Structure formats: C-alpha cells, structure tokens
Amino acid sequence: MPMIAVVPIGGVKGELVKAVADFIEGYYSRFGMRVKTLPEIPLEPFSSAFNLLRGQYLGRVFLPTLFRLGERTGARAVLGITEADLYEEGLNFIFGLANPSLKAAVVSVHRLRPEFYGGRPDDELLKERTVKEAMHELGHLFGLGHCPNPKCVMHFSNSILDTDFKGPLYCQVCDGKLSKALGVLK
Ligand SMILES: [Zn+2]
Ligand SMILES: [Zn+2]
C-alpha cells in the first residue's frame, strides 16, 4: 500500500504530529494511501542550514535527508515537521516548502504559533494551521500548483491571515487534479 511518511524533526509535540498524520490519512486514504509516522530525527545534523544573522534555517537543506528517509522506507512522499524557523533566498520566511522530484516537503510550526504574533498559546489553532500547511505541501508533492481560490488549501499564504482564511481541504478543481494524478499512479 502506498505510504506517506510524516517525520518530526527536533522536538515537535507528539500530539501535534498525530493530529496532522490523522488528518492527512483521513483525506489520502481515498487514494489507497496510508500514513506512517517515523521516529523523530534530531535538528543538529541540519546545523549547516542555520543562518546566524537571520536566526533561521534554509528550508531546502532539509529535503535531501527526507528524500533518503523516503527511499529507505519506500514512502511515496515524505513530510517533515519542524519547530525551526525556515527561510528561502529572497523570502523573509516560509511556512514550508516542497520538492516534487525529491518527493519531500517540510513544514515549520514556528510561525503558526499564535504566540509568535503576540497571542496566547492555542493548541487547537496550532493543529488547524499545521494541518493546512501540511496538506498544502503534500498537494505540491502530488503535482498541484497554487490555486486562486482563497478558501482552497492550495492558495498561497503570504501571511498567517491567509492560512487562517483558507480551509484544510482542496477545492473541487484541485481535488479533481489530484484524483486524476493519484488515480493513474495507484
Ligand atoms: Zn505553495
Ligand atoms: Zn484549489
């Protein structure tokens, strides 16, 4: 059975990881896929990704390691979840990124926490936001681009407001594309 691997990187709460894995499985099981949570991997090996001036990690550095984990476990796609604050060149920050040719994606919860914006900690809101970013990056891994529909999970999030506005699911158009792509691959 094709499998999506979820990998916590460096001290992400188990409860949060489980909520994300359960949601993904709830959706992707329709394509005959199951979700497996792999043991946590440490953040230390990614220290070369850390930019001292920015205090952030270069996102793409995480992907080859996740790719190798995918190869080893036979996963169809690998999604890392990290507390590390991520960036890419030319961008102040990123909520996550995906590389379809590596079948690997990573999501950062750093800027999904309400306390990052001066709010109170809220586990439910954090779960909701992490689920959305995870579904978004997985959509990229399975060939979806950004969607103009602001309620679709494939809509690009410029800020946390966009993330909160959109839903956790693909719109009808994106869902159709995904069904077509994954139906063929099954
Ligand atoms: Zn995107
Ligand atoms: Zn869409």
Q: What confidence tier does 114 reach under pLDDT thresholds 50, 70, 90? A: very high
Predicted structure pTM score: 0.96
Would you say residue 64 has pLDDT above 90? yes
Please name the residue that has the structure tokens 């550095």: 61
DSSP for 60-100 reads GGGHHHHHHHHHHHT-SEEEEEESS-EEETTEEEESEEEET
Partners of 21 in beta bridges: none
Break the chain into its structural domains and give their ranges.
Answer: 3-142
State in Å: Cα 157 to ligand 1 middle: 8
By percentage, how much of the chain surpasses pLDDT 90?
A: 97
Find, among 98, 176, 181, the residue nearest to 136 by Cα: 98
Residues that are catalytic: 137
State in Å: Cα 140 to ligand 1 middle: 7
Q: pLDDT tens across 6-47, in order?
A: 999 998 999 999 999 999 999 999 999 999 999 999 999 999
Q: Which ligand lies nearest to the CA atom of residue 172 in the structure? A: 2
Q: What is the mean pLDDT of residues 96-115?
A: 97
Q: What confidence tier does 186 reach under pLDDT thresholds 50, 70, 90? A: very low
Q: Which amino acid is at 49?
A: A
CATH for the stretch 3-142 = 3.40.390.10
Residue 81, CA distances (Å) to 63, 134, 150 in order: 11, 8, 24
Q: What confidence tier does 185 reach under pLDDT thresholds 50, 70, 90? A: very low
State in Å: Cα 184 to ligand 1 middle: 23
Q: Which ligand lies nearest to the CA atom of residue 137 in the structure? A: 1
